[in-house]
Amino acid sequence: MKALLQRDLRLALRAGGGFGLALAFFLIVVVLVPFSVGPETDLLSTIAPGVLWLGALLACLLSLDRLLALDFEDGTLDLLVTAPLPLEAALSVKALAHWVTTGLPLVLAAPVLGLMLNVPGGGYFWLVISLALGTPALSVIGTFGAALTVGIKRGGLLLSLLVLPLYVPTLIFGAEAARRGAAGLEASTPLLLLAGITLACVACMPFASAAVLRMGLK
């Protein structure tokens, strides 16, 4: 599993679909928002948690079509299906590699980009915590979507349509936790619900991903 993780991390960085592209997209979203809504600092402070969460979600979505496509093209995916390592564990490692190269850099960059949206001083902690708890769910759900669409030519649009509805609960509770924290309100309830969603996804999604991948490769 360690070798598979190291391999996926190297491939993600070399293929150009890793943290660089995700961070660039995240930056573009944050920069364009003040141009679209105006320079009012109060308005930017109000919408900042939601904008940052939406930008992180879309940045994660950007690299999902490459998650299993390269392995399918070179035959590595067939080897993983027949390898002694359970397919569920292999897909969990791939989801972890996607989060390390995409989700984790977004979590670390969010406070810096939050300065551009005038996030209140007390909101940075809750923003980082909510993203750290929620982005693993985005990667795991994205792995399920990639398994559903692997082998389909130009399946990127289909992947987005399949995955985006599954992302909605994570987006709702993640943005709400960040918004409440920035406003000085109690944020533990949406944060606990967000953590529950992530734990449920981590526990169940690898089995669902492995099942649909086996059916798709038959």
Please check whether residue 80 is in contact with residue 87, taking contact to mean a CB–CB distance below 8 angstroms: yes
pLDDT at 23: 85
Contacts of 125 (CB under 8 A, 6+ apart): 181
**Residue whose entry in the numeric block shows the structure tokens 């693993």:** 136
Please tell me the total number of residues recorded for the chain in this structure.
218
For residue 144, what are the domain limits?
Answer: 2-217
Q: In this predicted structure, which of 9-18, 51-60, 83-92 has the lowest mean pLDDT? A: 9-18
pLDDT tens by residue, 4-50: 787 777 776 665 555 578 888 888 988 888 888 877 888 888 899 99
N- to C-terminal Cα separation, the chain: 24
Q: How many structural domains does the chain have?
A: 1
Answer yes or no: is pLDDT of 205 > 70: yes
Decide: residue 51, CB within 10 A, 0-12 exposed, 13-18 middle, 19+ buried: buried
- Give the chain's mean pLDDT: 86
pLDDT at 80: 80
pLDDT at 138: 94
pLDDT at 18: 56
Please check whether residue 155 is in contact with residue 65, taking contact to mean a CB–CB distance below 8 angstroms: yes
Residue range 86-114: average pLDDT? 90
Please check whether residue 162 is in contact with residue 148, taking contact to mean a CB–CB distance below 8 angstroms: yes
Distance of alpha carbon 63 from alpha carbon 129, whole angstroms: 23
From start to end of the chain, where are the E strands? Answer: none
Residue 12, both tokens: 């993600």
